[in-house]
Structure 1
């Protein structure tokens, strides 16, 4: 993308670098989750965790900290700008990562994981806000899909990096690795990322303005409906991440090599996000995401019936392809739902990003934790979770739109924001 086609906030920053930078900010969160999946069993043993299902709290604690802090960051970034808030969060993330290396017990690890999530929340809020400052509508969805394509490469790489670290060290070195990654991203953004919040769009930090911004977000029917739907569908993803090690090693007996199967599924999910970026500008967010959600539910029901009929788990040759197709469909749902939730809220983008992020991530983390709690040595609980959450997500979409595949009211054909890049680019 040429400089002439960029907006005032990102002028001079190449399009590919902006997308890659935003993807790396988002990828910090996926790395902090997925890199620990192969280490959970050893960490639990080393720290005396008796209940195997409690090991899942290493992921849940991070997700809850990550989700809860987003409300604060969005409001502050609308007042003070994107850069100061980003660097504060990165600092918290790195310090918590380093401190966790020396954690003496499981409870301390969980506390530091929650703090790590609190720091990482800034990266998510600022990443989405920077994109929303610069794009809207289908162009925003296309950019976010490209971001998600890079972001989704992390689940392919991170578990295998974690497994590699475990071959030569232990779980403490994993904390060191993600801390180093955080430092690298902080240096890059400090040098290259400009401030994208225009001065006249900064909101005063008063109780009245904050309450008003939250009211705008929570009373917008489309934004609220798609936010709830995103939280529900994220619960599917978090539920799987919580149980991935147990499913592959206990149910299917794969051992350390399960990270390769996990990575293969993530590859197809990343490809789906890439395809979404190509299709969304022609077909629209609603057609793609609504159709994918219906397909997701249909496959979840079929998989559940087969697994239950076969005593709790279908053969691996059936489980992996079905799971892979489900998460390919996820690639057409999550990004588009988030873009649809953000689209009417450009005038309060920072607060919108934080409120939506809190509801989506914190809610998804709780839904995922519930699914993980019911793990019983079979795949039935997670498939029931897939089915129930996708039905609820479908209901939330209907709440937002009143119908499927098209908007309740057709949007105006012109761009809605003064700070957007040309959507035809």
Structure 2
């Protein structure tokens, strides 16, 4: 890695750094800073800061209108879009400043010959690594240009083959994604949880309420596989279990997904807790079945039947929206949609026994720290998945 080379050069010269050693260090940093500027330039060309400034000005005018909150839905849309545009512009402009400051820091360190210069260079090297990582994330954001990538997301996890281990795995995945969102400060809302009899979950559905949640999490859709010594097997045998992850974009009022009443069957029932324990004495839980497609959505986490029905309808509309996209893609490219999981086509393996490894089978990205992954450290998997998807789309174009 270039940063590591800079450190090695610095240490080699700390016994008595001469101008020639410092010149090499400065040259090494200069080439890396130049590469950072080139990457940022490419990102800026895609993000178009001037367009963002114009969008911010227009949305700011709308946000300052005295009658803005007369229409709550429109007001929320305007303020959300404004915040999103401001954040995107800030990420680009702050990166320009950080690279300028890094260049100044390197100049300060390589112009002197004291012990403090070694500390300054170490600080510059740390900042170089930080900028490179943040630029990688910015670059990934530019790859999220799909029709619904900027949307919030609705994620559903279902236990698959593997009995109680699969149900436990589904609960582990739910915690993993909620911890990922928590690490980033993304608000979430669990809409439905269906508990298994012995342990874990039959299924769970939750929202991630932040722009580009769908674009990021859509690469997590598919079949996940867990291999471990089963804690539910008294003989301590190794067990393989599966869980399916579905990710759909949250619909907006402007999407106009109309569903005729005669195409929906509505069932109401009592909400339940772990092991089938009743937690509600009224029939507040709602199950919607879309008869033409067979899509079923259940909601029980709201307090009233009306709230659960509204939440279920929103998720049903989101799934129909994604299905429509898959149908359009199939018609254009004669390919079936690949969002729904297939048991014979797992996309990621989590191996806890006989060794520790999480590996994405599409991107070949893998890590050995399985505990960190299950604690929500999945950004590298998501970024690799987004790059893989873009590469695949280019190949198919």
- Whether the TM-score (by the shorter chain) exceeds 0.5 is no
Larger Rg over CA atoms: 2
Q: TM-score, normalised on structure 2?
A: 0.24
**Greater relative contact order, per chain length (Cα 8 Å cut-off, separation 6+):** 1
Q: TM-score, normalised on structure 1?
A: 0.22
Higher strand share: 2
